[in-house]
Structure 1
Amino acid sequence: MAQVKIYARREWLQGRRGALSELIQSCLAEALGLPAEKRFQRFIALEAEDFIHPADRSERYTILEIHLFEGRSVDVRKQLIRLLIARLSAQLELHVNDIEITLVETPRANWGIRGLPGDELALNYAVDKA
């Protein structure tokens, strides 16, 4: 399970949501083994005055906050971060200084999904992928 929030300036997100969504999902599938249809993403389009950041970030500055079930190895989490940075740079021409990614792991028991605590769900993918 992964819930993704994408924060960026409204004018930069305009016309890029589809490409960003596909790119993010491809990285989640490759690094974490998530099924393609398990897409949970929220785009938070901010006005410039509502997105305060250091001067060394541009108008394309983008933050990805990804909430995950805990259980993946450090190597798998780093692979996800590296894939996202590489593809955001190459495919959307984002400078690495304009990319920030935070992974937040939560015990499955702390999630409520489809009427059950997350640790009681039957999943069709592995969470403890090494």
Structure 2
Amino acid sequence: MPATRMETRRGWIGNRRLEVIEAVQRALLTGLQIPDHDRCISLVEYEADAMITPPSKGPSYSVIEIKLFSGRSLDAKRKLYAALAEELSAFGVPASDIKIVLVEIDPVNWGLGGLPASEIDLGFKIDV
């Protein structure tokens, strides 16, 4: 049940927003082994003067923040990082222009349908 937010500068994505979001979804499937129907991704594009980035980064510099249940292994996280870099390379984004921040949340601190996620059968494993 990750909640993912990708922030970048406007211009390089053009009319490929949905394609980029689907690429991020594929990376989540690969790295976290979530079911395909588990989707919660937003894409935010900023005007050039509303986002400063390191001077060595290109126009496609992106920050991807993923809020997820705690419990994933380092191997799963490595797969996720590599999958995001691979998927976004198809859009000309170099791996060095991708910053990924994972925010791990205990399932008791995540509510779904009026219940804590810790009390719900999610239908997938988080300890991958």
TM-score range, shorter chain: over 0.9
Stretches (4+) displaced over 4 A: none
Q: CA separation in 2, counterparts of 1:101 and 1:63?
A: 6
Amino acid at match of 2:59: E
How big is the shift at 1:124?
0.9
Query: In the comparison of the two structures, how many residue pairs are matched?
Result: 128
* SS in structure 2 of the partner of residue 44 of structure 1: strand
Q: CA separation in 2, counterparts of 1:112 and 1:69?
A: 11
User: Could you tell me which residue of structure 2 aligns to residue 57 of structure 1?
Assistant: 57
User: Could you tell me which residue of structure 1 aligns to residue 37 of structure 2?
Assistant: 37
How big is the shift at 1:64?
0.7
Q: TM-score, normalised by structure 2?
A: 0.93
User: Could you tell me which residue of structure 1 aligns to residue 125 of structure 2?
Assistant: 126
Q: Render the CA deviation track for 1:53-74: whole Å, top value 9, x for unaligned.
A: 1111111111111111001111
Q: TM-score, normalised by structure 1?
A: 0.92
User: Could you tell me which residue of structure 1 aligns to residue 46 of structure 2?
Assistant: 46
Q: CA separation in 1, counterparts of 2:92 and 2:12?
A: 12
Gaps of 5+ in 1: none
Q: CA separation in 2, counterparts of 1:29 and 1:97?
A: 22
User: Could you tell me which residue of structure 1 aligns to residue 88 of structure 2?
Assistant: 88
How big is the shift at 1:87?
2.0
Q: CA separation in 1, counterparts of 2:58 and 2:65?
A: 19
Question: Which structure has the highest helix share of the two?
Answer: 1
